[in-house]
Structure 1
Amino acid sequence: MKRYAMILLLVAGQLLSAGAGHGEEPAVRTASGEFAILGGYGITHRGFGATRTQVETVDAILRYGHFLSGELGTGRWFQGRHELLVEVPLHLTLDPRVRTMTGGYLLGSWKFTSLEGLAPYVFAGGGILYNDLGLDTQGTRLNFSYQGGTGLQWFVRPDTALGIEYRYHHVSNAGTAEPNEPLNSSKFLLGVSVYR
């Protein structure tokens, strides 16, 4: 584990030493798309809604973002761009047992573009999730997810950003089978994005 942490720190150090400077504008203002990989940790909130089971996950998400607009709005807090995000997640559960969840998400995002070297964003959406958790409290393996959250990207190069993200994540079968315990959780993610 220490070895992987060291490799991650070295890669981050190389990106940081390159710097976002050189007077170039971050690509978030003009790019047509974004490719990203995110990784992190999630945990359910027992007692939130009908969630009773603790589920912990290690998460990996591949993301493609396509900008639907140029810069819109004026002013520091309103200027931004609409982005459509397509994600392929892999949620590896660690507790209560090692299993997987995977599927696809479609999310809408507003990315703020007026802050120098930073791009905060908000997003919401959902998708389909195949759930192989083996829980007696879930009546089917085919589930649905809705989610929403916020993030912040820091440009270390004009076309490359490091990011941190929080998302609320809901999984249930939408009443298609019984029982139907929802999994309401928080996910904390780190990522790298490349704009084209």
Structure 2
Amino acid sequence: MPLIFRALFVLIAGLLMAETVAHASDEDRPHITIGTQEVGLSAGYLLPHRLTEDHTTKQQGPAVMPSWMITITDPVGNSWYRGQVSIGAEMVYIQFQEPILTHGIGFTPKIKYMFVALDRFRPYMEFAGGPFWTDLGGKIPEESTQFNFVLTAGFGFSYFITKQAAINVGYRFHHISNAGTKYPNLGLNASLPFGGFSFFF
């Protein structure tokens, strides 16, 4: 786990240094307007959090998240927080490798705020939530149902290698539970460092 975060830190620091050394020309600067669409693919590795003594399951495994978004605002604000809002949807697939090899899949509406004060390097915050199915339900003490909901919140950094393509790295906090529809419902909590790419058109 420390190695993952060290690698992310080195990558982010390198992108920031590149941004300060050479600013994008007007031709290469990303130009995102209302109606600009984004398709992306991210992948990461789920790392468990046991928040209470009753959380005993060490669920972990790889995750894949294809997504689609559309920009719904022009840049707002005049300082470092200047940014744009996008909405869209994402599929999430998780292969749980512990405590048993099993799977989970969900669909989450999503909202993102991307900071645009810099040229190519653009931090963002994102939130998503929606239905999630996993056959862990009934096999671990934290979950009693196969049908659940997944909530995620996180941040990331996009670096535009061209005006239409960007590479992304980031972090999300994941919570999976059935919203109290059946008990026990302690829920599963995890961190998800990830990387991926996006194409804008």
TM-score (norm 1): 0.83
Separation in structure 2 between the aligned mates of residue 151 and residue 49 of structure 1, nearest angstrom? 31
Of residues 34, 37, 45 in structure 1, which corresponds to 2:49? 45
Separation in structure 2 between the aligned mates of residue 188 and residue 170 of structure 1, nearest angstrom? 14
**2:184: which partner in 1?**
179
**1:144: which partner in 2?**
149
Could you give the per-residue CA deviations for residues 104-136 of structure 1, whole angstroms, max 9, x where no partner exists? 011211111111211110011311100112523
> Given that residues 144 and 173 in structure 1 are in contact (C-alpha distance below 8 angstroms), is that contact kept between their aligned partners in structure 2?
yes
1:159 aligns to 2:159 (yes or no): no
Moved more, 65-74 or 131-140: 131-140
Q: CA deviation at 1:85?
A: 2.9
Of residues 96, 100, 117 in structure 2, which corresponds to 1:97? 100
Instruction: Indicate how the Cα distance of structure 1 residues 50 and 34 shifts in structure 2: closer, same or farther if over 3 A, else same.
Output: farther
Separation in structure 1 between the aligned mates of residue 83 and residue 110 of structure 2, nearest angstrom? 16
Gaps of 5+ in 1: 1-19
- Local SS of the residue matching 1:157: coil
1:35 aligns to 2:39 (yes or no): yes
**1:106: which partner in 2?**
109
Separation in structure 1 between the aligned mates of residue 32 and residue 48 of structure 2, nearest angstrom? 33
Gaps of 5+ in 2: 1-22
> Given that residues 109 and 121 in structure 1 are in contact (C-alpha distance below 8 angstroms), is that contact kept between their aligned partners in structure 2?
yes
1:57 aligns to 2:57 (yes or no): no
Of residues 107, 122, 131 in structure 2, which corresponds to 1:128? 131
Separation in structure 2 between the aligned mates of residue 93 and residue 119 of structure 1, nearest angstrom? 32
Separation in structure 1 between the aligned mates of residue 28 and residue 53 of structure 2, nearest angstrom? 47
**2:130 counterpart letter in structure 1:** G
Of residues 169, 193, 199 in structure 2, which corresponds to 1:188? 193
Separation in structure 2 between the aligned mates of residue 163 and residue 147 of structure 1, nearest angstrom? 17
**2:17: which partner in 1?**
none
Moved more, 123-132 or 183-192: 123-132
**1:71: which partner in 2?**
75
TM-score (norm 2): 0.81
**1:5: which partner in 2?**
none
**2:175: which partner in 1?**
170
Separation in structure 1 between the aligned mates of residue 102 and residue 117 of structure 2, nearest angstrom? 42
Separation in structure 2 between the aligned mates of residue 49 and residue 154 of structure 1, nearest angstrom? 40
**1:67 counterpart letter in structure 2:** T
> Given that residues 146 and 170 in structure 1 are in contact (C-alpha distance below 8 angstroms), is that contact kept between their aligned partners in structure 2?
yes
Q: CA deviation at 1:181?
A: 2.6
Number of residue-to-residue matches in the alignment: 177
Separation in structure 1 between the aligned mates of residue 153 and residue 199 of structure 2, nearest angstrom? 22
Q: CA deviation at 1:188?
A: 0.7
